[in-house]
Amino acid sequence: MIMIMPAIQRALLSVTDKTGIAEFARGLHELSVELVSTGGTYRAIQTAGVPVREVAELTGFPEMLDGRVKTIHPRVAGGILAMRSKPEHMQAIERHGIPRIDMVVVNLYQFEKVAARADAPLEELIENIDIGGPTMIRAAAKNWQDVAVVVSAEDYPALIEEMRAHGGSLSEATHWRLMKRAFATTAAYDRAISLKLEQVGVAPEPLPGVLDIRAPRTLALRYGENPHQSAALYATAADGIAGARQLQGKELSYNNLVDLDAAWQLIQEFDGPAAAIIKHTNPCGCAEQATVVESYLKALEADPISAFGGVLAFNRELDGETAREVAKLFVEAIAAPGYSNDALAALAGKKNLRLLEVKQPDAPGLVVKSITGGYLAQTADTGKLDRTNAQVKTKRVPTEEEWSALEFGWKVVKHVKSNAIVYARAGQSVSAGAGQMSRVDSVKVGAMKAVLPLEGTVLASDAFFPFPDGVEEAAKHGITAVIQPGGSVRDADVIAAADRLGLAMVFTGMRHFRH
């Protein structure tokens, strides 16, 4: 049974974002709700021809201190906080001539918008910290049974419709829903202020003193990694895989999202048109060529068997020619910055294929993982290979073709689970050995899985070779050059083996473990 609350008789409106406020005020007025408002909101409602009183009339006190003080007053707080079910509360506000306020419509100073500007001075940040708004929101939310608290313009049309259906009243369930949204809003607001101010000052730390994770649930998933696990997606922004727009296909799974993120992170390594194919978070194919379709075909030919049922990512708009090639393969999902109409038409027949339009975040955030009892956090691995700082350790220097292959392989191996090995040519991964307990086994697995010839490829390793055996094993399959971080106590032995085998070897001085 739906419980309907008493009719709303008086509403206080004070919003920074004026979107829809005049229309909402008109709807309230038509329902015989008395309107009280402040500053710019008062002017917007009055200009729209809707009767409205200034809050100063209610408080008997003018706005002051550049608008800092206008709603912080007992005649506002009392009218919001008085519990209608308690006679002593009602007697108290009647005794002091305090009118009841049955609805509070407030959104806050746009602190986050100001904070997003790198050049915003501290004084401007402080001035955009709302005081009266959160106070009214929290007061109304605390007294949720008696006061409807509205913090989003998205709610305006549905609230007017419900009030019209129930003689100016809202249901208890609606009051409860609005209350929860209100407290979530003030919590997020305070969090944004705290996080920004922690970054202000001399030499801010790369990691916060308190890890504050707050993200709304945006998608309920059928299950987690396995059917007996519950799962959901929580998004902190409208970019990246978590904020992607799904254009087509059945609902996303937990594993789809994990693989899509792995593919998307890999594809961002490349400046030219590139394609990546991911299976169980590891690249089974990746290529950077002159066109998107060439990149896809080069990625696919490296391991077409593993590509079956995988996920794809592109760093350019997916065009029709590439889409028609993709349509020949069973694929679970695709991530791309956009899709041409021709591409959408080519893939429309694959009703279950999930198409995600993804916006790349402006800057990488923290990488956070949960462990029993807590979280691990680190900065993103944004390390790039600088050829001028890399050190050639062998007698033979890489050729230009080998350098191009080494640089490409180094970008890919960064996204393979450690212990990680990638066989590569310029612009194309040939095979990968992922997640083995010993590095030499990763070399062997990569060679075993190779579909294309390994003769003339280069080898990329995410961490140093602890013994010469990995390089010696790779040389059996025809590699010509190696790129690795270096740093083993046996580096001299590994370099000597490379010289003996006629290989070129480059040390980057940077490790790319991925666990």
Catalytic amino acids?
A: 142, 280
Q: Which tokens is 486 given?
A: 């270096």
- DSSP state, 148? E
Q: Please count the CA atoms within 13 angstroms of the CA of 171 that sit on its side-chain side.
A: 10
* CB burial of residue 451 (10 Å; 0-12, 13-18, 19+): middle
Q: Which of 251, 306, 249, 253 is nearest to 278 (CA)?
A: 306
Question: Contact at 8 Å (CB) between 58 and 75?
Answer: yes
* CB burial of residue 10 (10 Å; 0-12, 13-18, 19+): middle
Residues 6+ apart with CB under 8 A from 302: 284, 285, 286, 287, 428, 429, 430, 431, 451, 452
Distances from the Cα of 233 to the Cα of 177, 184, 360, angstroms: 21, 18, 18
> What is the C-alpha to C-alpha distance for residues 358 and 360, in angstroms, rounded to an integer?
6
DSSP string of 168-206, one letter each residue: T--BHHHHHHHHHHHHHHHHHHHHHHHHHHHHSSSS--S
Question: Contact at 8 Å (CB) between 301 and 451?
Answer: yes
Q: What is the 3-state secondary structure (H, E, C) of 447-497?
A: HHHCCCCCCCCEEEECCCCCCCHHHHHHHCCCCCEEEECCCCCCHHHHHHH
> What is the C-alpha to C-alpha distance for residues 376 and 372, in angstroms, rounded to an integer?
10
Where helices occur in 337-399 by DSSP H, the ranges are 341-347
Q: Which tokens is 201 given?
A: 């000052």
Q: Which helix (H) or strand (E) holds 382?
A: none
